[in-house]
Amino acid sequence: MIKVEAIVRPEKLEDVKEALNKIEVNGITVTQVMGCGKQKGYTELVRGNIVDIDLLPKIKFEIVVSSEEWEKKTIEAIQNAACTGNVGDGKIFSYDMRSALRVRTGDKDYDALN
């Protein structure tokens, strides 16, 4: 099992969800997060004061897939849906999962994913 995490622009939420749905990836977790990378934020005038906004709103997807084949398909779908070609498009990470458990039934690992 492999966990794929993707941090993308908020405006790409629906595009990424649609891309994952199209390849029949089920079971995603989506979280609103704040962060920065090379983009470094921006400055804004707030009540007459210049304020550095160094954490930007992002969307984090968490998906657990059953194989390297699904990892590649999932990453490719996210990348194609989230890419604008500009700084701040996000990052995708993947790493091995040791175990999974469906709380309701006690199903483990692969069975817990389906």
Domain spans in the chain, listed from the N-terminal domain onward: 2-113
Q: What is the pTM of this model?
A: 0.86
Topology annotation, domain 2-113: Alpha-Beta Plaits (3.30.70)
pLDDT in tens, 10-69: 999 999 999 999 999 988 999 999 988 776 666 777 788 877 777 889 999 999 999 999
What pLDDT does 51 receive? 77
Cα-based distances in Å from 22 to 25, 29, 75: 8, 17, 13
Average pLDDT in the 64-88 region?
96
Cα-based distances in Å from 72 to 3, 31, 112: 11, 22, 21
What pLDDT does 60 receive? 98
By C-alpha distance, which of 55, 54, 60, 53 is closest to 8?
60
